[in-house]
Amino acid sequence: MWRRYLRFLGRDIGADVEEELRFHLEMRERDYVARGLDPRLAREEAMRRFGDVEAVRREVEEVDRSVYRTIRRRDWWDGIRQDVRYGIRTLGRSPGFTLVAVLTLGLGIGATAAIFSIVNAVLLKPLPYEAPERVVEVVNRWEGEPEGRLSPLEFFDYRERLRSFESMGAYATGPANLTGDAAPERLEVGYLTDGVFQSLRVAPELGRTFGADEDRPGGERVAVLGHGLWTRRYGGSEQIVGESIQINGRSTLVIGVMPADFRIPAELDNGTTVDLYMPFQLDRTTIPNRGSHFLLALGRLAPGVGPQQAAMEIERVAAEFVTEFPEDYSRDMQFGASVRPLTEAVLGDVRPLMLLLAGAVALVLLVACTNVANLLLVRADGRRRELAVRSALGASRARVTRQLLVESLMLAAAGGVLGVALATAALWALPLVQPPHLPRLSDVRMDWAVLAFATGVSLATALLFGLVPAIQAARGEVHPVLRESGRTSTPDARRSRMRGALVVGEIAMAVVLLIGAGLLLRSLIALNRVDPGFRTENVLTMRVTLPSSDYPDDDGVVRFYRESLDQIAALPGVEAAGAVSNLPLATSLGDLNFQIEGREVPEGETQARADYQAVTPDYFDAVGMRLVRGRGVEPSDDENAPGAIVLNEAVANRYWPGEDPIGVRLLLGAGAGPGWVTVVGIVADVRHASLTEPPNPEMYIPHAQFRHWSGGEPIRSLSFAVRTSGDPTALVSGVRAELRRVDPDLPLAEVRPLAEIRADTVAQPRFIAFLLISFASLALILAAIGVYGTLAYLVAQRTGEIGVRMALGAGASGIARMIVGQGIGLALVGAALGIAAALGLARLLEHLLFGVATTDPFTFIAVPATLVVVAALAAYLPARRATRVDPLVALRAD
Amino acid sequence: MPRNELELLRGTLDVLILKTLSWGPAHGYAVASWIEQVTGDALRIEEGSLYPALHRLEKRGLVRSEWGVSENNRRARFYELTEMGRRELATGMSTWSAFVEAVGQVLNSADRPAWAA
């Protein structure tokens, strides 16, 4: 009903009001005059009776303006509603186009949203500490180790001397057994000194944390539960605070529970989950040397102190150590120390990875947008007559443009909804592809941030792909189109150039993604071919930790492992059973100095050094390590036998190049132990740290003799390795039963096949390769659709021309060749551009690649070749349609 | 005029305008004249206040307006009651009657209140 008034309301509200009021005043004046009043007085009287004319005029105008605004708004929405209805009709009329466009956008937006949710949780969200940018990691530095840990004495000295810190703490993690209240369970315990909670400043969810009172030698045994353990084992009961639990057989008072998102930096960094936190209770009087570096340290900077300032101060203190304790810090150790922001320490490694994924998925989204833009352009050509008719019937250009943008927005909205659904599904399926450890990956979920992001991306894509056709339509030439005699119109050169450019761009981006995926795949294959020096198939592994309360001395520990390994070896199907202090590819090793008998150590130089392992007899057989010379560790190398040691080839080659070290005697730990050990054998190298790094020098000490040089302290925690004749997992229950027979209270941890450990080490490259291959395949399919769509349209447009050619004698194969040739031409230009871009971008992959160059010729030739073949196939379908053109029909249509 | 009296009047003025228009379309001056004629000098309102009231009624959809030609051949804005306006008038009239009756009952009552007995 309002539309009727729009014309005059819209004309000039001010003039209308003016006229209405003037009419009133003049009428009144006339009345007075008619009653015989003097005209001048009549005018004055009329004004007086009216009141404040100016105020009334303003008030009325304001009312009318608000009416006008309401009408305009309502009209606009009516128009949009009309556009939407119209859009639904037109989109419904071409379901094929709509389906492909929505699917394309859905895949693009879905992939982007999924990656964003990962990047957001892992990288973008601040660390769960108060003012995390003020917390720094404190690291030592020495020859070959830029990020070394601290020894307790170093930590105490740093804490005393450094002024740059408001608080400072150190920690380490280790296993412990939880018994008593339920089935025995092996826990990962975070041992924290006073200052860790204080530096991170995280309030407990329940109870309290601990400080200097408990963190002192002989302090009370207390524990703060992690949220996971609390809910898992104690059902989230608040009663647990104040109760005592049995940790390693000793009563420990629970004083608090940490919130769900609390993690100490080590958990974020390497993916271990700490179940509970206990005061470290380090005793500086019982740790005589400064050489055993096992503490991670962090601190909160004092107000006004920056990381650089703190780094300079700690460098100075480290230099003091070197002068004060020359016997602990040799010159060629090049000892130093530094600090770095915790965020950098924890997230620095994953940032390039996250950026790579974000960049790759952005390319996919761009390809998707390009594709839809292309489809829209093709479609816009088909609709030129329709739009021209609408224009002729009075729709303004703005109106037509808006109609097209509304359609684009509808496509984007549908794509966005589909994308969010796909992203949700992808996040749900994330664990199925066994992603690698990424800090906070478990926090990834579909949340408001992701939804907001997906909405923004959908809007942006609508503008990206919708703007070009809309602009073209807006400057559309109405009359020429109407005068054209239908479909024989020759394709507008500008439009087809635009479409060609879009397809070429699409292909180039697909090539970049495909080359990236190809390089990562080649690298993954190379990784899987690496010989680690042991055989992973058919080996079951698990870890056992003996509590000192039940196994107070070395004898008990040695007896336990000997008996349990004997029992396991007797199980049917077991070929060899051994144990080692640290399984390869799963853990890092400590190293140990040693002296070689008969060799002088020059003043100020480091003694010989190698990583060490404690092994039981049969361990080498169990994991399939190869004995090079001499013998392995035998049952006779027991606690009473003379000390024996097995070296790997890396040790032998470094310290005895061209010689045979068998029979040579070594003094381990710089003489800390009571005696000499004799080299009895050489084994082949094992890649312990990772598949990609060359093996380290490593020495193997019989577990039973460990106390010869460790001062009587046994290694309580060993990993079993059991080689079987068949499926190793089938053996789990048998091994568990045997161990329970030896010690019913003992929990098993990390029960898994050795092959799985190896697979875990390639989890990250596998994950990245998987994602990039998915993205690249998607881009390839989209590019093929782009080529197909463009050529199919060209064929349809050129039916007349093709008919003429055929009438003039051109053969079907010639026509087909022409069309396919065009497709290949587009692909070649796109591939060339893509190769050029990939040559530049591949350098970003350099640190992710193993055994393949960033300019790998195979990838750089095979990938574009594949793409050209795909483009030719995509061009073949329209080409075949072109050959079916009947010249008579085509010409008669004119 | 005190403010609360104005507020009271505004609602009353709306009903008066609607009642006036119920006789047929009219321009603002005709509405003013008719109200004046019927009430004599009993209701003294500034004629200017009529126009914001008319336009507000239009905004609420109770009247609609159209430019037409007046009895003396001048261009004038004519107001007409809408269906909604007719309903509003009916409601306004019954409210007004109820109000008048209630006030009348109090003012004409012979009974004393209990505390004054």
Q: Report phi then psi at A151, rounded to 5.
A: -90, 160
Alpha-carbon torsion angle A18, A21, A25, A28, nearest 10: 150
CA–CA separation, B88 and B15 (whole Å): 8
Contact A23 B74 (CB under 8 A): yes
Q: Is A2 an interface residue toward B (CB < 8 Å)? A: no
Chain B residue closest to A5 (CA)? B66
Region A584-598: mean pLDDT is: 82
CA–CA separation, A728 and A537 (whole Å): 8
At A275-326, the pLDDT tens digits run 999 999 988 877 766 777 889 999 999 999 999 999 999 999 999 999 998 8
Cα dist. A38→A51, A295, A375 in Å? 20, 108, 79
In a mutagenesis test of the A interface, which of B14, B55, B75 is the best target, namely the one with the most A β-carbons within 10 Å?
B55
Question: What b/e string do you get for A824-834 counting C-beta neighbours within 10 Å, with b at 16 or more?
Answer: bebbbbbbebb
Contact B29 A53 (CB under 8 A): no
* Nearest-CA distance B34 → chain A (Å): 13
Q: In this predicted structure, what is the pLDDT of residue A195?
A: 93
Cα dist. A590→A293, A543, A699 in Å? 9, 18, 11
CA A547 to chain centre: 38
H helices of A530-662, where? 554-569, 619-623, 649-655
Structure tokens at A734: 């048998």
CA–CA separation, A136 and A342 (whole Å): 5
Contact A60 B55 (CB under 8 A): yes
Residue carrying the six token digits 């070290």:
A661
CA–CA separation, A317 and A300 (whole Å): 18
> Which residues in B lie closer than 8 A to residue A16 (C-beta atoms)?
77
Q: Is A846 an interface residue toward B (CB < 8 Å)? A: no
pTM to 2 decimal places? 0.76
> Which residues in B lie closer than 8 A to residue A27 (C-beta atoms)?
29, 70, 74
Longest Cα–Cα distance of chain B, Å, equals: 66
Would you say A585 and A758 are in contact if contact means Cβ atoms under 8 Å apart? yes
Q: In this predicted structure, what is the pLDDT of residue A401?
A: 80
In a mutagenesis test of the B interface, which of A17, A18, A33, A63 is the best target, namely the one with the most B β-carbons within 10 Å?
A63
Region of A289 (left: φ > 0; alpha: ψ -120 to 50; beta: rest) is beta
In a mutagenesis test of the A interface, which of B1, B13, B29, B83 is the best target, namely the one with the most A β-carbons within 10 Å?
B29
SS3 B46: coil
Task: Measure CB to CB from residue B47 to each of A51, A63, A67 and give the nearest one.
Answer: A51
Contact B49 A56 (CB under 8 A): yes
Would you say A349 and A270 are in contact if contact means Cβ atoms under 8 Å apart? no
- Report chain A's mean pLDDT, rounded to a whole number: 86
Q: Is B71 an interface residue toward A (CB < 8 Å)? A: no
Chain A residue closest to B68 (CA)? A20
At A58-98, the pLDDT tens digits run 999 999 899 889 888 998 899 889 889 988 998 888 888 88
Predicted confidence (pLDDT) at residue A156 exceeds the cutoff of 80: yes
Would you say A152 and A191 are in contact if contact means Cβ atoms under 8 Å apart? no
Structure tokens at A842: 């591949």
Cα dist. A494→A367, A490, A491, A502 in Å? 21, 12, 9, 12
Residue carrying the six token digits 């080299």:
A679
Pairing of strands A185-192, A276-279: parallel
CA–CA separation, B98 and A364 (whole Å): 73
Predicted confidence (pLDDT) at residue B97 exceeds the cutoff of 90: no
Chain B residue closest to A67 (CA)? B59
Q: In this predicted structure, what is the pLDDT of residue A521?
A: 94
At A746-777, the pLDDT tens digits run 888 889 999 999 988 888 889 999 999 999 99
At A328-379, the pLDDT tens digits run 888 778 899 999 999 888 888 888 889 999 999 999 999 998 888 888 877 7
Which of A439, A444, A360, A440 lies closest to A769, judged by CA? A360
Which stretch of DSSP H or E encloses residue A119? helix A95-119
In a mutagenesis test of the A interface, which of B77, B78, B80 is the best target, namely the one with the most A β-carbons within 10 Å?
B77
As a whole number of Å, the CA-based R_g of chain B is 18
